[in-house]
């Protein structure tokens, strides 16, 4: 029988954003600064104070989501809008915003999928005790998360705890406000991550406790890792990197333990986190029901050569010109990231690798056997608004078409994928490149520094995606 190809029934279609990258209103209605409001002031790009102005335009935005046919939307809640001081008194105006936002989604038939934490620790807690560096952050996160989970327990079924712990470790001084005194102490990033593991596990327990049939998981920034070639040493580097960059997070979520190889290596390097008695029991008890995968690019590694073997941190490409990548990460005697000579990249040197999507889905599913939702996937690009109010982003349509085909192939081969929430709905403040690099289905009329009128313009990809959703994928899969 020749059946028409499409996504499974009840597949969730939508897109994703995060609070500080779209909301703006950074100091409005009682909100206080988050670390992202402060860190983004120093990037040389636009900051988060206005962003895409979604705080004021959310109704218009949700109308567009509905027009496109969304059945789900991933967004994040700004901790510093709800608890401006991190803990204590709730900010009624702040929580009212999320009440209204969530109700508006539901009214329009769109399932709200919130991320509880997307990089934006309240600055008050950074000032009080250095934020995630301190173990106190776990307790305060739980205070905030419990409030949110209890408030929306009857309205929200699928919950995302923390966004991209993997990227938070890799870019630990950019995704966290880390005081300078720690800047040469690389153990701190694994300590921060350990605190987040506890916070994640406790939030999972809270969802299981309060939300009837609730499901919960983290969204991980995930890259499949390929060896440069089949030389035995480079294959070993691939295993090392998979262990420290991927299993290091997923083993916590789904096995309740750190992978032994990566942990022994960190101990040898004096980088291992301090784990207190009882921590691993908390982590085990806070099991995840699913995994959110943020996939943009695959990575390529080789074994470090003896004359070039040291701890080197990644530095993003800030210029937006191919080849201007600052630096690739290296861990001594373990692996060195390099450019993949067999794959193309975007202007910021991010590899474009659609088959990597199938690879990672099948790999993760075979290893952990859990349902997966794509919580981010997208192409950062320079978009041009034409005089006739159109944006021809055919490169993005091509990118998503190929990635969706890969997802479908993985599903055909048995992987449980229950939704696609690409990055991003409207253009957002990019975490590394301001508004120069765009991701949205909907163009936001602003420059990086010039605010303009912030009006929304549907890109070609919006119309393309509407057809994809209407046909449950059949428009591109046949
Ligand atoms: C993910 C983040 O890492 O990638 C998003 O969850 C981010 O917040 C996205 O915007 C794209 O990265 P960038 O640096 O281009 O904004």
CATH number at residue 103: 3.20.20.80
- Residue with the smallest CA separation from ligand 1 atom 16 is 430
User: Which residues are CB-neighbours of 198 under 8 A, at least 6 positions away?
Assistant: 138, 279, 282, 283
- How do 442-444 and 456-458 pair as beta strands? antiparallel
68 belongs to a structural domain:
yes
Q: What is the pLDDT of residues 146-162, one digit of tens each?
A: 999 999 999 999 999 99
pLDDT value of residue 42: 85
- Would you state the pLDDT for residue 238? 98
**Is 43 close to ligand 1, i.e. is its CB under 6 Å away?**
no
pLDDT at 4: 80
Supply the range of the domain harboring residue 190.
Answer: 12-223+351-477
**Is 432 a pocket residue for ligand 1 (Cβ < 6 Å)?**
yes
Q: Mean pLDDT over residues 42-70, rounded?
A: 96
Establish whether residue 120 lines the binding site of ligand 1, counting it when its CB lies within 6 angstroms of any ligand atom: no
Provide the 3-class DSSP secondary structure of residue 92.
Answer: helix
In a domain, 370, yes or no: yes
Is 365 within a domain?
Answer: yes
From edge to edge, which strands make up the β-sheet containing 330-331? 225-227, 299-302, 335-338, 330-331
Residue 466 maps to a domain? yes
Q: Total domain count for the chain?
A: 1
pLDDT digits (tens, 9 = 90+) for 207-220: 999 999 999 999 99
Please give the positions annotated as active site: 376
How far, in Å, is the centroid of ligand 1 from the Cα of 277?
35
Residue 383 has pLDDT above 70, yes or no: yes
Within a domain: 401: yes
Distance CA 96, CA 81 (A): 10
- Asked if residue 430 has its Cβ within 6 Å of ligand 1, the reply is yes
Give the number of other Cβ atoms within 10 Å of residue 467's Cβ: 13
In a domain, 237, yes or no: no
176: confidence class by pLDDT, cuts 50, 70, 90: very high
Mean pLDDT of the chain: 97
In a domain, 363, yes or no: yes
Length of the chain: 478
Q: Which of 1, 26, 68, 22 is nearest to 458 (CA)?
A: 68
Mean pLDDT score, 255-266: 98
- Bridge partners of 293, per DSSP, are 220, 374
Q: How confident is the model at residue 3 (pLDDT cuts 50, 70, 90)?
A: confident
Percentage of residues in the chain having pLDDT higher than 70: 100
**What is the reported pLDDT for 368?**
98
What is the reported pTM? 0.98
pLDDT for res 1 = 57
Q: Is residue 257 part of a domain?
A: no
CB contact at 8 A, 74 and 160: yes
Name residue, tokens 């046909």. Answer: 471
Of the candidates 396, 437, 455, 383, the one whose C-alpha atom is nearest the C-alpha of residue 46 is 437
Given a cut of 80, whether residue 2 has pLDDT beyond it is no
Helix axes 54-68 and 460-470, enclosed angle (nearest 10): 50
| pLDDT, position 333 | 98
Name, in order, each residue with C-beta under 8 angstroms of 315's C-beta and a sequence gap of 6 or more: 325, 326, 327
φ, ψ of residue 289 in degrees (nearest 5): -90, -25
Alpha-carbon separation of residue 45 from 179, 407, 428, 429 (angstroms): 21, 34, 13, 9
Q: 439 near 383, Cβ under 8 Å?
A: no
On the question of pLDDT at 453 being above 60, the answer is yes
* pLDDT tens column, 117-149: 999 999 999 999 999 999 999 999 999 999 999
């Amino acid at each position: 029988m020749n059946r028409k190809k499409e996504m499974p029934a009840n597949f969730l279609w939508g897109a994703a954003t995060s609070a500080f990258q779209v909301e703006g209103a950074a100091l409005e209605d009682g909100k206080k600064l988050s670390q992202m409001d402060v860190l983004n002031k120093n990037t040389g790009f636009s900051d988060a104070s206005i962003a895409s102005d979604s705080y004021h335009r959310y109704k218009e935005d949700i109308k567009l989501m509905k027009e496109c046919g969304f059945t789900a939307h991933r967004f994040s809640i700004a901790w510093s809008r709800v608890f401006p001081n991190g803990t204590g008194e709730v900010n009624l105006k702040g929580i009212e915003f999320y009440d209204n936002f969530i109700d508006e989604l539901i009214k329009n038939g769109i399932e709200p999928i919130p991320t509880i934490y997307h990089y934006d620790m309240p600055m008050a807690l950074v000032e009080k005790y250095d934020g995630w560096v301190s173990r106190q952050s776990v307790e305060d996160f739980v205070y905030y998360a419990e409030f949110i989970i209890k408030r929306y327990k009857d309205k929200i079924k699928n919950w995302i705890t923390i966004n991209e712990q993997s990227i938070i470790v890799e870019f630990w001084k950019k995704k966290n406000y880390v005081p300078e005194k720690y800047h040469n102490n690389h153990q701190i990033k694994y300590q921060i991550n350990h605190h987040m593991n506890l916070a994640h596990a406790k939030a999972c327990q809270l969802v299981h406790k309060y939300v009837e049939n609730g499901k919960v998981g983290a969204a991980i920034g995930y890259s499949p890792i390929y060896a440069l070639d089949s030389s035995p040493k480079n294959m070993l580097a691939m295993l090392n990197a998979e262990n420290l960059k991927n299993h290091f997070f997923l083993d916590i979520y789904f096995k309740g333990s750190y992978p032994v190889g990566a942990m022994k290596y960190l101990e040898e390097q004096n980088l291992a986190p301090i784990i207190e008695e009882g921590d691993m029991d908390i982590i085990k008890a806070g099991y995840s029901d699913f995994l959110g995968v943020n996939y943009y690019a695959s990575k390529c590694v080789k074994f470090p050569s003896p004359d070039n073997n040291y701890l080197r941190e990644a530095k993003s490409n800030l210029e937006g010109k191919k080849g201007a990548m600052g630096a690739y990460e290296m861990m001594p005697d373990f692996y060195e990231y390099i450019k993949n000579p067999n794959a193309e990249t975007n202007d910021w040197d991010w590899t474009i690798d659609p088959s990597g999507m199938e690879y990672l889905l099948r790999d993760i599913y075979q290893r952990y056997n859990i349902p997966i939702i794509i919580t981010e996937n997208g192409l950062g690009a320079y978009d041009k608004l034409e005089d006739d109010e159109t944006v021809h982003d055919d490169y993005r349509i091509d990118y998503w078409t190929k990635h969706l085909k890969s997802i479908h192939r993985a599903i055909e081969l048995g992987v449980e994928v229950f939704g696609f929430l690409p990055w991003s709905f409207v253009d957002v403040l990019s975490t590394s490149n301001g508004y120069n690099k765009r991701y949205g289905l909907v163009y936001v009329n602003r420059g990086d520094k010039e605010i303009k009128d912030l009006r929304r313009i549907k890109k070609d990809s919006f119309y393309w995606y509407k057809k994809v959703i209407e046909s449950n994928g059949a428009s591109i899969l046949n």
